[in-house]
Amino acid sequence: MAIISYREALNQAMREEMERDENVFIMGEEVGYYNGAYKVTQGLLQRFSERRVIDAPIAEMGFAGIGIGAAMVGLRPIIEFMTWNFSLVAIDQIVNNAAKLYQMSGGQYNVPIVFRGPGGPAVQVSSQHSQSFESYYAHVPGLKVVMPSTAYDAKGLLKTAIRDNNPVVFIEGETLYNSTWEVPETEYLIPIGKSDVKREGKDITLIAWSKMVWTCMDAAKVLADEGIECEVVDLRTLRPLDIDTVADSVKKTGRAVIVEVGWPVAGFGAEVAYQVQKLCMDYLDAPVDRVTSDDVPMPYAKNLEDEVQPQIKDVVAAVKRALYLE
């Protein structure tokens, strides 16, 4: 096992899949000569040439659509959005074309494409550059939505996403690129649609994805010192959702708190809460609760930015409410 960064894990996944399959190429802004705005594509241009590592001008709608057209006729594009914030000008391509073509063509044209890039709040970049769009994309049938929290998951899931026959929205944690994890040196794949129990515990289930898994793990450590054992379930994939792993955990602990960094209204956690209450009603000892960001555009000032997002203390407080300790 080697300890590598989340960034390096993603780079390895793309490099390995491009070695493996000639049809895989990467296209996006600054992915080639600049080596990626976040350096995720470092060195790929030198290895694979301009034919397969394609610098695109600022035209997300255009190059997302080009990826979809190329995928329809058999290529396997990886489309990098510099950040998911910029995907909104391409959302018509993702929702109206990529997601629908398989059904709209009566099963004739599938779209094997990965849309990837950083998402979720960054650091002090204010409202237009610090947003979580997973709930938007998870709403759409025909898409798969993947949000890894660790380097290990990032590599195994990205490799699987590239091999998937359908469009995959792969949202990387913008603040996770430097985080490290043990990653095997031999090839491995992680299936899309499988949650992962990141920490076992008997008292309460914390459900999260991407960056919030780390917040929950930190909160679990704080609570362990007080004798409260949290189980942390990392969804890893939002669509398709592995609700069985979540429900098994909640049936064991009897309590659930869903922690997400997105906005509260119609956030993905609401769907998880609905499914948990439906499947676990007879096992619940407290209402299913959610911790989310505040219902505001992201402020710039560091103190306000922190205040808006779920912090360890917010998760600790929610756990104590669910345990009727406060």
Contact status: 29 vs another protein (CB under 8 A):
no
Identity (one letter) of the amino acid at 231?
Answer: E
Please pick, from the candidates 4, 13, 72, 219, the single residue that binds another protein as defined by CB under 8 A: 72
Shortest Å distance, C-beta 105 to another protein: 4
Q: Give whichever of 25 and 263 is closer to another protein, judged by the CB atom.
A: 25
Helix (H, G, I), strand (E, B) or coil at 230: strand
Expressed in percent and rounded to 5, the helix, strand and coil fractions of the chain are 40, 20, 40
Does residue 118 have a cis peptide bond before it, meaning omega lies within 30 degrees of 0? no
Asked if 268 and 134 count as a contact pair (C-beta separation under 8 A), the reply is: yes
Q: Catalytic residue among 8, 17, 29, 60, which? A: 60
- Contact window for another protein (CB under 8 A) among 145-153, 163-171, 226-234, 273-281: 163-171
Distances (CA, A) of 135 to 14, 206, 237, 268: 25, 19, 12, 5
Shortest Å distance, C-beta 70 to another protein: 4
Shortest Å distance, C-beta 18 to another protein: 13
Number of Cβ within a 10 Å radius of residue 184: 11
Write the Ramachandran bin of 39: left for phi over 0, alpha for psi from -120 to 50, otherwise beta.
left
Shortest Å distance, C-beta 141 to another protein: 5
Please pick, from the candidates 83, 166, 292, 309, the single residue that binds another protein as defined by CB under 8 A: 166
Please pick, from the candidates 9, 18, 64, 183, the single residue that binds another protein as defined by CB under 8 A: 64
User: Which pair of structure tokens corresponds to residue 237?
Assistant: 């994939």
Contact status: 189 vs another protein (CB under 8 A):
yes
The reply to whether 60 belongs to the active site is yes
Q: Give whichever of 188 and 274 is closer to another protein, judged by the CB atom.
A: 188
Length of the chain (residues)? 326
User: How far is residue 38 CA from its own chain's centroid?
Assistant: 16
Please pick, from the candidates 2, 3, 47, 96, the single residue that binds another protein as defined by CB under 8 A: 96
Q: Give whichever of 98 and 235 is closer to another protein, judged by the CB atom.
A: 98
Q: Give whichever of 25 and 115 is closer to another protein, judged by the CB atom.
A: 25
Residues in 130-159 at the binding interface with another protein, rule: CB under 8 A: 141-142, 144
Distances (CA, A) of 245 to 47, 87, 266, 290: 40, 31, 22, 18
Asked if 249 and 231 count as a contact pair (C-beta separation under 8 A), the reply is: yes
Q: Give whichever of 55 and 229 is closer to another protein, judged by the CB atom.
A: 55
- The residue count for binding another protein (CB under 8 A) is 43
Q: Among candidates 23, 29, 58, which has minimal Cα distance to 41?
A: 29
| Dihedral of alpha carbons 81, 107, 14, 28, sign | negative
- Residue numbers at the binding site for another protein (CB under 8 A): 25, 51, 56-57, 59, 61-75, 89, 92-93, 96-97, 101-110, 141-142, 144, 163-166, 189
Task: Please identify every residue annotated as catalytic.
Answer: 60, 129
